[in-house]
Structure 1
Amino acid sequence: MAEIDLITQYNKKSPVSEAYRAIRTNLQFAGAGKPLKLISFTSATPYEGKSTTVSNLAIVMAQNEKNVLLIDCDMRKPVQHKKFGLPNRGLSNYIATGAALEKVIQKNVLPHLDILPSGPVPPNPSELLSSTKMEEVLQAVRDMYDYVLLDMPPVLPVTDAAVMSSKVDGVVLVLSSGDISPDEANRTKAQLEQGGAKILGVILNKVPTQRSYGYSQYYYYYYYDEDHVKHKGHRHHSKEENSGQ
């Protein structure tokens, strides 16, 4: 297997990894007594860091000895197979061709972490995600794992994330500070809610602070429970969040 170049795997004691663990803790409490098993992650537009965010969160959840499945539902620009050095055989193979689900889930990528890549890019991603076969996938994996994290496409360019929002237990929105306007953020939230989403919170990514030692620093913020808003902030610099996805 190729080396996994994700900070929660190669530098578990870094401030960035600690920030992801703080988000993990917030997610565990976000259900307010109701278990959250299926959680989707999306953004307003491309290149806000949502794929890197969800892959690192999958790793820290697995490090907490929870059985985790990461599903790449971004069938237009899939990246999770690249991040974990896997062949891109997965979700679209199962939905479109009837391949056995257990054959396309890639097991034990890391301890307690399985991954279902997107599979080859299909001509009709929205139709596949809204299909009965996709519902069968979600029902099957709900019973198999402690957490199922879905990497969804961004909301504003395509309808996929909104289509899927009512099929999961909650949605986390990753927004890139300085790249997204308040209007875009509000339109994203409105589209998700129109699709029936329960928005668990927002991760505000790439928040610039003072420059020091030649590095541009950032904060992660995770907000949850709109009636009792809380946040965690961690200063760090990371090449991952400049990678786009």
Structure 2
Amino acid sequence: MFKKKRKEHRRKLITSTDPRSIVSEQFRMVRANIKFSMKDKQFCTLLFTSASKGEGKSTVAANTAIAFAQEGKKVLLVDADLRKPTMHHTFNKLLSPGFTNLLMIQWKIADVVKESGIKGLDLITCGPIPSNPAELLGSTSMDLFIKEAKALYDIVVFDAPPVLSVADAQILSEKCDGTILVINAGSTEKRFAVKTKEVLQSSKANIIGTILNNFKLEKGHYYYEYYGQDV
């Protein structure tokens, strides 16, 4: 069982475990396209979200963060899915202490940050599951965290909950420099993708692109394709 979990973790972090693979190359393309789409603006905070659960936004967020770290950037990956966090599983870390400790009782970043095991990439796991996630993400503590994180890191990547499930991603997207929508090629219905885009735009999110996840190529390969803003 533990071996199976370790194999799943390695598969999820393919940009680290197999940097020469076709999937890793696609994440480098995602990195390049993010930089291109934001080239005329200062960007530090990136939000990854999806329409619904199970579309792979957490895996995409983690691998994109690794891709930036591999470029020499100092990167912080934050599990901002305060309802169903996964990054502690992905990186084999403890859930607590984490992000909610910082937001609820004003711990410092140094108190909750964890080494990811990947050069240049730090991690903040979720922490104790709160009863008021939306309120925490919209709080003054959140604003202070973003300001402090920007001073310490080149790139801060947030993994947020799905847009159509809860208000959390809406709230956080308004605070971030850029928002990226992850769509699963095999399951996301177009009407849900369009609705998600409308919801994010109503929150004044800066949607810089969409990633098509799990697009199947020949011989069983999968890759991630980055598109512009049109959905």
Shift of 1:225: 5.7
2:208 alignment counterpart? 200
Counterpart selection for 2:77 from 65, 70, 92: 70
Shift of residue 69, structure 1, vs aligned partner: 0.3
Compute the displacement of 1:20 (Å): 0.6
Residue from 137, 142, 164 that aligns with 1:134: 142
Question: Which of 130, 133, 137 is the matching residue for 1:125?
Answer: 133
Matched, 1:221 2:225: yes
> What is the aligned partner in structure 1 of residue 38 from structure 2?
31
In the alignment, the residues of structure 2 paired with residue 179 and residue 94 of structure 1 have an alpha-carbon distance, to the nearest angstrom, of: 35
Amino acid at match of 1:38: T
1:93 corresponds in structure 2 to 101
* Post-superposition offset of 1:29: 1.2
Q: Which runs of 4+ in 1 moved over 6 A?
A: none
Residue in 2 that maps onto 1:45: 52
Aligned partners of 1:93 and 1:119 also within 8 Å: yes
* Alignment partner, residue 240 of structure 1: none
Once the two structures are overlaid, the 10-residue window that deviates more, 79-88 or 145-154, is 79-88
CA RMSD of aligned residues (A): 1.8
Task: Report what 2:114 is aligned to.
Answer: 106
Q: Deviations over 1:207-236 (max 9, x none)?
A: 2455x4xx3x4342101366xx9xxxxxxx
Unpaired runs of 5+ in structure 1?
Answer: 230-245
CA distance in 1, matches of 2:20, 2:192: 35
Query: Does structure 1 retain, via aligned residues, the 8 Å contact 2:51–2:192?
Result: yes
Q: Secondary structure at the match of 2:49?
A: strand
2:158 corresponds to 1:154: no
Specify which structure has the higher proportion of helix. 2
Contact 1:109–1:115 (CA<8 Å) still a contact in 2?
Answer: no
Give 3-state SS (helix, strand or coil) of 1:18's partner.
helix
Q: Which residue of 2 aligns with 1:239?
A: none
After alignment, is 65-74 or 97-106 more displaced? Answer: 97-106
* TM-score normalised per structure 1: 0.86
1:97 is displaced (CA, Å) by 2.1
Counterpart CA distance in 2 for 1:108 and 1:79 is 14
Q: Deviations over 1:165-188 (max 9, x none)?
A: 110101000001131111111110
Worse overlay, 125-134 or 98-107: 98-107
| Distance (whole Å) between structure 1 residues aligned to residue 64 and residue 41 of structure 2 | 20
Which one of the candidate residues 11, 15, 18 is aligned to 2:18? Answer: 11
Instruction: Indicate whether 1:82 and 2:86 are aligned.
Output: no
Q: Which letter does structure 1 place at the counterpart of 2:39?
A: A
Relative to the length of structure 2, the TM-score reads 0.91
8 Å Cα contact 2:16-2:118 kept in structure 1: no
Q: Aligned to 1:20, which of 27, 42, 58?
A: 27
Whole-angstrom distance in 2 between the partners of 1:100 and 1:33: 32
Identity of aligned residues (%): 39
SS in structure 2 of the partner of residue 205 of structure 1? strand
Q: How many angstroms apart in 2 are the aligned matches of 1:102 and 1:171? A: 26
- 2: CA distance between counterparts of 1:82 and 1:225? 31
Letter in 2 for 1:10: T
Paired residues, what number? Answer: 222
